[in-house]
């Protein structure tokens, strides 16, 4: 992001708290089943960790405004990844700086000595951003800090000897993501360092040794590197394990602004080796609104899933979107899996199964023919604003375009679909509603998908008042997009051009609100 320095005393511990504050569900544009703060500014998800039956979600939070400012870690917990309880702010800025992005982990062996073997501590490792130093032109303003909790994340103590990692004189030196590397019994930290990632190791989470660097010449460098996440993932249908390095960049995303790329390769406890060429850039999401996402730490082995969540916005316009009392939501949680596709190894993203618990009324049909347009508004029996959709479609050989349109009585319309001639999926929010807040917002986009003229299409779509998350080709294609209609969408249509499409099966669920 563009760091703006806002005049604020960084040592001020505010009494502001989100404890017991609940989201006001009926505010305009308030998403109904995505995580968002009750009020004020939020960006990156931080410190996502599973501990004692709870999923913790911390997040970049500024409790005094609806735009970015001195960062805190907001906090929420969930037992099912779907319903969230807002907790008090976990980490406040202190004399070392604002609390930027980072990770949290369970120190099972109490390597840090900050808990006990029987009651292992939760550790948070994050970046300190010293705005005063930054303003003076001192480039050492980002350092890493540690905090620990001995009560399942309810209260946090900052480590007395912070910072645990000083700055070597590089302005962008942030977003530590830490995990336990079992084969060598040590912790590994991935850190974003301007145009590359540095890997450090530690026996105790407090002292860190530089192991290697990766990426100065790899992938996209159209923006600053941020929020790395390194983890192993088994290739589906085989025993092969590959290492994935997620890496967010801003600006320079394929559709403008912020986006997340990833690398696939090998990690030996010291060095990450990219198995693709330096010029290969692979994006995690073809939409504009999925940034700074990372995965949950310490998922139980019996579960084994890699679960991802991103910030559902974009630094191009995130601070000016037309929500009045809060800004931004997270994506739905997604399971990441690794597959060998026609274009090589690729991550597939799919909604976590826990979301099924939100399904309310259902409308479905099978084996119908879509010719030009099918208006489903009166058939589904609920508002399309808040909906999960699963479509199995078989276009004939002359169909050139298939899609889904949601619209309202003001003529505002959002479309998402597939152009069979170009083989591109697209999301079109050019007429979706409010867009004058940013010239960058409404530009149309397309993304290319792998299997041109794939015969059987299966789409999984989540609409939530002001967002669409679209999963196709078993999660190989993902588009995450936000929009701001002046009134909730009320009409739902499917459309096809030039040919006809057999709708093998279509299911529409009204989704319950989590608030
Ligand atoms: C990514 C980011 C991080 C930083 C945080 C500050 O969106 O810029 O690199 O730690 O946001 O809020």
Please name the residue whose Cα sits nearest to atom 2 of ligand 1.
1
Residue 57: C-alpha distances to residues 148, 199, 384, 512 (Å) = 15, 24, 29, 21
Residue 149 exposure: Cα atoms within 13 Å on the Cβ side: 18
What is the DSSP secondary-structure string of 26-77? TSTT--SSS---SSEEEEEEEEEEEETTEEEEEEEEETT-SS--S-EEEEEE
Coil, helix or strand for 171? coil
How does 482-508 read in b/e, with b if 16+ C-beta sit within 10 Å?
Answer: bbbbeebbebbbbbbbebebebeebbb
Atom index in ligand 1 nearest the CA of residue 44 equals 7
Strands 326-327 and 40-51: parallel
Q: Are 444 and 426 in contact (CB under 8 A)?
A: yes
Atom index in ligand 1 nearest the CA of residue 192 equals 9
Residue 477: C-alpha distances to residues 116, 285, 419, 473 (Å) = 44, 7, 14, 6
Who's near 279: CB < 8 A, 6+ residues apart? none
Q: What are the two backbone dihedrals, phi and then psi, of residue 113, each rounded to the nearest 5 degrees?
A: 70, 10
In this structure, what token pair is assigned to residue 291?
């940034």
Distance CA 228, CA 172 (A): 13
Distance CA 93, CA 114 (A): 21
Coil, helix or strand for 357? helix
Residue 300 exposure: Cα atoms within 13 Å on the Cβ side: 7
The pLDDT score that the predictor gives to residue 15 is 45
Q: Which of 33, 119, 48 is nearest to 90 (CA)?
A: 48
Q: Which of 178, 143, 166, 471 is nearest to 331 (CA)?
A: 471
Please name the residue whose Cα sits nearest to atom 8 of ligand 1.
1
Q: How many whole angstroms from 193 Cα to the centroid of ligand 1?
A: 12
Q: How many whole angstroms from 174 Cα to the centroid of ligand 1?
A: 8
Residue 497: C-alpha distances to residues 131, 366, 393, 402, 452 (Å) = 55, 20, 14, 7, 17
Coil, helix or strand for 82? coil
Mutate to test the pocket of ligand 1, among 71, 142, 174 (most ligand atoms within 8 A of CB): 174
Atom index in ligand 1 nearest the CA of residue 127 equals 10
How does 110-136 read in b/e, with b if 16+ C-beta sit within 10 Å?
Answer: ebbebbeeeebbbbbbbbbbbbebbee
Strands 467-472 and 457-464: antiparallel
What is the DSSP secondary-structure string of 85-148? EEEEEEE--BTTBEEEEEEEEE-TT-TTSSS-SSSPPEEEEEEEE-HHHHHHT-TT-EEEEEEE
Distance CA 98, CA 72 (A): 7
Question: Which residues are annotated as catalytic?
Answer: 44
CA 483 to chain centre: 17
Residue 22: C-alpha distances to residues 168, 270, 332, 359, 398 (Å) = 42, 44, 19, 22, 51
Q: How many whole angstroms from 44 Cα to the centroid of ligand 1?
A: 7
- Which residues have CB under 6 Å of ligand 1? 1, 43-44, 60, 71, 100-101, 127, 174-175, 226-227, 292
Atom index in ligand 1 nearest the CA of residue 226 equals 9
Q: Across the chain, which distance is largest between two alpha carbons, in Å?
A: 68
Element (H, E) at 471: strand 467-472
Q: How many whole angstroms from 375 Cα to the centroid of ligand 1?
A: 43
Residue 163: C-alpha distances to residues 68, 125, 197, 199, 366 (Å) = 23, 10, 20, 18, 60
Who's near 136: CB < 8 A, 6+ residues apart? none
Please name the residue whose Cα sits nearest to atom 9 of ligand 1.
226
Classify residue 185 by burial, with Cβ atoms within 10 Å: 0-12, 13-18, 19+.
Answer: exposed
Beta bridge mates, 461: 389, 470
Chunked mean pLDDT (size 10), the chain, 515 residues: 42 48 87 97 98 98 98 98 97 98 98 97 98 97 98 98 98 98 98 98 98 98 98 98 98 94 98 97 96 98 97 98 96 97 93 98 98 97 96 95 97 95 91 96 74 76 98 93 97 98 98 96
Output the pTM of the full model: 0.96
Q: How many whole angstroms from 318 Cα to the centroid of ligand 1?
A: 13
Q: Are 47 and 156 in contact (CB under 8 A)?
A: no
Who's near 309: CB < 8 A, 6+ residues apart? 35, 45, 48, 57, 293, 294, 296, 330, 331, 332, 333, 334
Count of Cβ atoms closer than 10 Å to residue 140 Cβ:
15
């Amino acid at each position: 992001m563009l760091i703006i320095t806002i005049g604020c005393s960084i040592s001020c511990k505010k009494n502001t708290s989100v404890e017991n504050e609940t989201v006001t569900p009926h505010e305009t544009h308030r998403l109904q089943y995505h995580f968002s703060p009750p009020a004020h500014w939020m960006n990156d998800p931080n410190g996502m960790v599973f501990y004692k039956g709870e999923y913790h979600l911390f997040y970049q939070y500024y409790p005094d405004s609806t735009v970015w400012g001195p960062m805190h870690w907001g906090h929420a917990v969930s037992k099912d990844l779907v319903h969230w309880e807002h907790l008090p702010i976990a980490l406040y800025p202190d004399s070392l700086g604002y609390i930027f992005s980072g990770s949290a982990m369970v120190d099972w062996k109490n390597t840090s000595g900050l808990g006990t073997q029987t009651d292992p501590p939760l550790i948070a490792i994050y970046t300190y951003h010293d705005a005063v130093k930054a303003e003076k032109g001192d480039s050492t303003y980002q350092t890493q800090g540690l905090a620990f909790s001995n009560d399942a994340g309810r209260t946090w103590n900052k480590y007395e000897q912070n910072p645990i990692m000083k700055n070597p004189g590089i302005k962008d030196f942030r977003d530590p993501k830490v995990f336990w590397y079992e084969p060598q019994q040590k912790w590994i930290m991935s850190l974003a360092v301007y145009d590359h990632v540095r890997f450090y190791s530690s026996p105790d989470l407090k002292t860190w040794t530089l192991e290697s660097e990766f990426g100065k010449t790899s992938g996209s460098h159209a923006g600053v590197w941020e929020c790395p996440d390194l983890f192993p993932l088994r290739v589906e249908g085989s025993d092969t394990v590959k290492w994935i390095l997620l890496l967010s960049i801003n600006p320079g995303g394929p559709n403008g602004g912020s986006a997340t790329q990833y690398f696939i390769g090998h990690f030996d406890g010291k060095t990450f080796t990219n198995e693709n060429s330096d010029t290969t850039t692979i994006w995690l999401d073809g939409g504009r609104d999925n940034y700074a996402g990372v995965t949950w730490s310490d998922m139980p082995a019996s579960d084994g899933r890699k679960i991802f969540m991103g910030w559902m916005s974009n630094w191009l316009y995130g601070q000016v979107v037309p929500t009045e009392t809060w800004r931004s939501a997270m994506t739905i949680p997604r399971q990441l899996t690794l597959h060998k596709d026609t274009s090589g190894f690729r991550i597939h993203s799919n909604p976590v199964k826990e979301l099924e618990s939100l399904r309310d009324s259902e409308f479905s049909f099978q084996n119908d023919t879509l010719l030009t347009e099918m208006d489903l508004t009166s058939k589904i029996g609920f508002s399309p604003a808040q909906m999960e959709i699963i479509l199995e479609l078989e276009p004939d050989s002359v169909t050139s375009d298939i899609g889904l349109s949601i619209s309202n009585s003001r003529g505002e319309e959002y479309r998402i679909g597939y152009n069979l001639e170009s083989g591109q999926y697209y999301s079109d929010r050019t007429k979706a509603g409010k867009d004058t807040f940013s010239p960058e917002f409404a530009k149309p986009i397309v993304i290319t998908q792998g299997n041109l003229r794939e015969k059987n299409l299966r789409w999984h779509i989540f609409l939530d008042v002001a967002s669409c998350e679209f999963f196709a080709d078993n999660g190989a294609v993902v588009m995450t997009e936000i929009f701001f209609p002046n009134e909730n969408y009320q009409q739902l249509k499917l459309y096809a051009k030039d040919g006809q499409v057999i709708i093998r099966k279509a299911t529409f669920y009204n989704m319950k609100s989590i608030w």
